[in-house]
Amino acid sequence: MGITRKRRLVTTSTAFMLSIGMITAGSSVLSAGAATKTPGVTKTQITIGATVPLTGIASSGYSDVAKAANAVFKYVNAKGGINGRKIRFVMKDDCYGTPGFGCTGNPSVVAQTHALLSIPVFATVGSLGTPTQDAVRSLLKANGVPQLFVNSGSRDWNNPGTYPGLFGWQTSYNEESKIFAQYIKATYPGASVCFLGQGDDFGADGLAGLIAGGVTPSDTQLYSVSALVASGGTSVAPYVAKFQSDKCAVTVLDTIPGATDAVLGAALQMGYTTHWIISSVGSDPVTVNLPFVGKPFPDPEIGAVSFSYLPASTSSSPWNAWMTKVLKTDHADFPNFTSTSPITGNMAYGIGWGVAFVEALKVAGKNFTRASFLKTLTTKTFSQTPSLVPLVYTRSNHQGLNGGYLTKIISATQTQPINGKIYVTDSTSTGPVVPAKKLSTGIPAWLK
């Protein structure tokens, strides 16, 4: 969601944005709240929206992110809503900006964002992807619409000077990799490390985090998503062969699930063994195992190390049982989910930011505006969410979460914490990785 997302894929040209006349709200994000009536908000309802890949190339797994968040909103609505209002969540299928591959939505992210503006929405919340959301930052700003909890670990969302209404949510790719670096140095001192990353901010930020954490890979490769798709996954095989030739003891992957599958499959064919460390974006065991179901060998991801800012599936966190309860009640989006169904990383991701939004909405009170809501985000701490660490923004930092713990893939459906230690850091090159002093506090009574 990782998203993960959380997640770059092939996108169409954003020039379309320039050819469409912008809907003018006549105010910036910060001044929009001065209006006597807040768009998207009535006495009984708040309408929010998102552009997400419900169909098409990125829909496998990722389509569950927004649906899981909506399950939270439905659950809250059934309990009476927040401060007397129910949440209406409008999901527009943008196919991740990529036509074909089973896309039945509109692959123009700009057009789908315009559709949300015309409703209107109070804010976009939980839209997915770096290139897709970069393409509409200026459009949303010009219309005074907050762009909240973007589903991506890019550092693009931490730019409050230019985009005061733009906020990330998940721990950044850079921060995650700095925590990986600490683990590698402690567990495999002196080992040769190879790195395969996506050829965009995902891979670049992840690599920068490793280096900032004191681990400089002996071999660095970046893959192209377009080549990955066009080749059916075989384009990564030469990288795996190179790592095997280099005898890499540790291999770090900043890969989306499809690339993770391709790398693990190539390694199996070549007999390449290494200690895998896989970004949370591309490590969800349920998603990654799909191509290997029914094969005459164990799931090749078992034993790999990953990272999570949410409770591992085997942890004793009360949030896991709560997530199961919420997903079970949403028969429309999760009709086959039962008390024994695994909660995938994508489901947990959507629930995580969904709870963060309803907590922020509750703290904002009954009489909020866009401006006052943004002030709430930057002046309050949100600690009663599924995230392992509290969600804290400031006027100068809109990145989102800043830590989590290391996990191990133990089966095709489960992860477990390696040692349970939760670390935090920042996205700078000098910020240290340190044990978290403050942790999230659990489920609030009003949400149970």
DSSP for residue 408? E
CB-CB contact of 307 with 406 (8 Å): yes
Comparing CA positions, the residue from 104, 115, 112 lying closest to residue 129 is 112
Residue 9's pLDDT is what?
A: 44
pLDDT of residue 323: 98
Instruction: Name the least confident of 35-44, 134-143, 252-261, 423-432.
Output: 35-44
pLDDT tens for residues 266-314? 999 999 999 999 999 999 999 999 889 888 888 999 999 999 999 999 9
User: What is the band of 226 on the pLDDT scale with cuts at 50, 70, 90?
Assistant: confident
pLDDT higher than threshold 50 for residue 16: no
Q: What is the mean pLDDT of residues 167-180?
A: 98
Strands 250-254 and 193-198: parallel
Predicted TM-score (pTM) above 0.85 = yes
Pinpoint the residues of the chain covered by CATH 3.40.50.2300.
1-171+315-402, 174-308
According to the model, what pLDDT value does residue 229 have?
85
Q: Which residue has the tokens 């230019």?
A: 162
What's the CA gap between 329 and 357, in Å, rounded? 20
For residue 20, pLDDT over 90 is answered with no
pLDDT of residue 60: 83
Question: What are the pLDDT digits (tens) for 312-347?
Answer: 999 999 999 999 999 999 999 999 999 999 999 999
Class at the top of the CATH hierarchy for domain 174-308? alpha beta
- From residue 250, give the alpha-carbon distance in Å to each of 178, 185, 189, 211, 305: 15, 11, 11, 15, 11
The whole-number pLDDT of residue 12 equals 35
Amino acid at 416: Q
> What are the C-alpha distances in Å from 305 to residues 120, 184, 370, 412, 423?
43, 10, 41, 14, 15
Residue type for position 51: T
> Angle 345-364/59-78 helices, nearest 10 degrees?
40
Is 70's pLDDT higher than 60?
yes
pLDDT tier for residue 393 given thresholds of 50, 70 and 90: very high
Q: Which residues pair with 254 in a beta bridge?
A: 197
Strands 423-424 and 403-409: antiparallel
Closest Cα to residue 387, out of 312, 285, 289? 312
CATH superfamily of 1-171+315-402: Response regulator (3.40.50.2300)
Strands 415-417 and 403-409: antiparallel
* DSSP structure class, residue 213: T
CA–CA dist 333, 87 (Å, integer): 16
pLDDT at 294: 85
Query: Residue 303: how many CB atoms within 10 A of its CB?
Result: 12
Per-residue model confidence (pLDDT) at position 58: 87
Query: Cβ neighbours of residue 219 under 8 Å, at least 6 residues apart?
Result: 194, 195, 242, 243, 246, 248
Q: Which two tokens stand for residue 358?
A: 């309803």
Per-residue pLDDT reduced to its tens digit, 146-155: 999 999 999 9
Inter-residue contact 355 to 72 (CB < 8 Å): yes
Count of all residues that appear for the chain in the document: 448
Percent of the chain with pLDDT over 70: 92
The predicted model gives 200-219 an average pLDDT of 97
Closest CA to 98 of 141, 130, 132: 132
Identify the band that residue 33 occupies on the pLDDT scale cut at 50, 70 and 90.
very low
- Under the banding of pLDDT at 50, 70 and 90, the label for residue 35 is very low
Distance CA 409, CA 9 (A): 25
